[in-house]
Structure 1
Amino acid sequence: MDSRHLQQVRRFNRAVTRRIGALADDYLGCGRPLGEARLLFEIGREGADVRDLRARLALDSGYLSRLLRSLERQGLVSSRRAADDGRVRRAVLTAKGRSELDALERRSQDAAAALLAPLGERQRERLVAAMGEVERLMRAAAVTIEPADPDSADARACIETYFRELDERFEGGFDPARGPSAEPEELVPPAGLFLIARLDGRPVGCGALKLRGKGMGEIKRMWVEPASRGLGIAQRLLDALERHAAEAGVNVLRLDTHRALDEARSLYVRNGYAETAPYNANPYAHHWFEKRGLRRRS
């Protein structure tokens, strides 16, 4: 990795933490450090499950528990078992906590205004645009892609949402029973592989590989939730599937897609997939692609 990039990231981190007051024990003049203040923001007016807070803030359970206990001692937060699942703890703001959140919101607005005020209009636009780009790329960097059980709750949620989207986008709807099979048992080693992309611990995409034997493989179930598109997740899923396919001895990788999925076709063409004659009787396929020479890339 380029050392200049690493040094720039470190300089940026130092500048931002200093400028926003992350180093002080009195963040925004609220009498508490940034960690506690941020936790109040994340709990919000609706409350939040503790496990979701842990994922969103990337905190280990011990540190999060200490933060919650501190806020509870201050009378700002209470926690209890979720009504629909006794295994899940839910944190909610008390009346005092909601009042404190209002004060934090006002101070946060004032701090943002103070950051922008010294700049000219063009500089403000540049800074805000740069912040948006940094936020987007940092979200992209936070995405993880790992093998998963295709019969797990997260995998089923991804696939069901994917099927609903296809049903909405295809002119005649979509019935998964009519297409080629990609059952859970076909997507686990040694028969195949199922990948889930997660952002802040939440599943946001998936992709699967079916191994056909004789150096052949097929990509299935490629999907990224609409809210997370534009972060390069589909590309990373495809790269990971190709890498696993090559390691499994696949030399030719195939896939099919519907004519309504323009973005999918663009992704495959961009990655060297060539359109070919139909290799299956999928009633929802209008385009068939293959990529050869994967073993040379492994």
Structure 2
Amino acid sequence: MDATPDSGRFTITAESIAGADATAALEQYVAELAQVFPAGFDPGRAAPPEPGDFAPPRGRFLLVREAGGAVRGCGAVRVLEPGVAEIRRMWISPVLRGRGAGRALLAELERCAGELGCGVVRLDTAAELHAARALYGSAGYAEIPAYNDNEYARHWFEKALS
């Protein structure tokens, strides 16, 4: 599960969500959302996952590293219900945006969803995250009615994997 897209400028690998690099990436993700959202961001109020959701056999946690090893992104996928996966905590550092990392991470999360036995992927996002919504739309996701109670989400998406 080691992807090397974008001519080797970054890699995507599966790692433990409990590791130091994962913790650092998630802290950056939370800090950025706290700045973007008018009332801040509390991850405990964003439909928090259950322990073990992002670890085999129920899910995966991925880290994006720039050449040289610096952590520049993360994302997770978990089995939401039989045959349906959910992508969560997807984030790319501003220093790596615009270089294909977000699209590559999304594709790798979808690949992991397929490995987990899922043919459908869902995700949600906030109204303020315009670039994320554009990415999901261009990657074939269609808006659907709310499927969770994430209070920050205003848009819910689904994609059938081929």
What's the offset of the Cα at 1:142?
2.4
CA deviation profile, 1:39-62 (whole Å, cap 9, x unmatched): xxxxxxxxxxxxxxxxxxxxxxxx
- Matching residue within 210, 223, 236 for 2:91: 223
CA deviation profile, 1:62-83 (whole Å, cap 9, x unmatched): xxxxxxxxxxxxxxxxxxxxxx
Separation (CA, whole Å) in 2 of partners of 1:183 and 1:206: 18
Separation (CA, whole Å) in 2 of partners of 1:210 and 1:192: 4
Aligned-pair identity in percent equals: 46
**Mapping for residues 110-129 of structure 1, pairs under 5 Å:** none
Cα pair 2:143 2:156 within 8 Å, conserved: yes
**Runs of 5+ consecutive residues of structure 1 not aligned to the other structure:** 1-137
Larger strand fraction of residues? 2
Larger helix fraction of residues? 1
Separation (CA, whole Å) in 2 of partners of 1:263 and 1:142: 21
CA deviation profile, 1:145-181 (whole Å, cap 9, x unmatched): 1100101000000001100100100011111111111
- Larger RCO of the pair (alpha carbons < 8 Å, separation 6+): 2
Which residue is equivalent to 2:144? 276
**Runs of 5+ consecutive residues of structure 2 not aligned to the other structure:** none
Which residue is equivalent to 1:145? 12
- Does residue 290 (structure 1) correspond to residue 158 (structure 2)? The answer is yes
- Does residue 265 (structure 1) correspond to residue 124 (structure 2)? The answer is no
With structure 2 as the length reference, what TM-score do the two structures score?
A: 0.92
**Mapping for residues 105-184 of structure 1, pairs under 5 Å:** 141-182=8-49
What's the offset of the Cα at 1:254?
0.4
Which residue is equivalent to 1:255? 123
Q: Which has the larger Rg?
A: 1
SS in 1 for 2:95: helix
Separation (CA, whole Å) in 1 of partners of 2:96 and 2:117: 32
Give the length in aligned residue pairs: 157
Separation (CA, whole Å) in 1 of partners of 2:93 and 2:27: 12
